[in-house]
Amino acid sequence: MAARTATMPALSEKQRRILDYLREHADTQTYFKSRLIGDALGLSPKEVGTNMNAIRNMDGVLSVEKWGYSSSTTWKVTQ
């Protein structure tokens, strides 16, 4: 928990919203499309993709891997 708290202030509001969304759904879902995350949060797919890089580089929060590019970028997210 301490590592998560220490890294949270570095996140922007959009990044926090995306991270909260992923944490909320990661127990039941593994693959997330930028387009669908954006639809749920009122962001564009490009905004999601740009902000996912910051989340992806955080240690110990979630494992986030760029997975595919079919109709929008797909992310593989595991806890």
Which whole-number Å values give the CA distances from 56 to 31, 62, 65, 66, 77, in the listed order? 14, 8, 7, 9, 9
In this prediction the pTM is 0.81
- Per-domain boundaries in the chain: 2-78
Name the fold adopted by 2-78: Arc Repressor Mutant, subunit A (1.10.10)
Report which listed range, 18-22, 52-56, 61-65, 69-73, is most confident: 18-22
Q: Could you read off the pLDDT of 27-55 as tens digits, one per residue?
A: 999 999 999 999 999 999 999 999 998 88
Q: Could you read off the pLDDT of 1-32 as tens digits, one per residue?
A: 444 444 455 889 999 999 999 999 999 999 99
Could you give the CA distance from residue 3 to residue 48 in angstroms, rounded to a whole number?
23
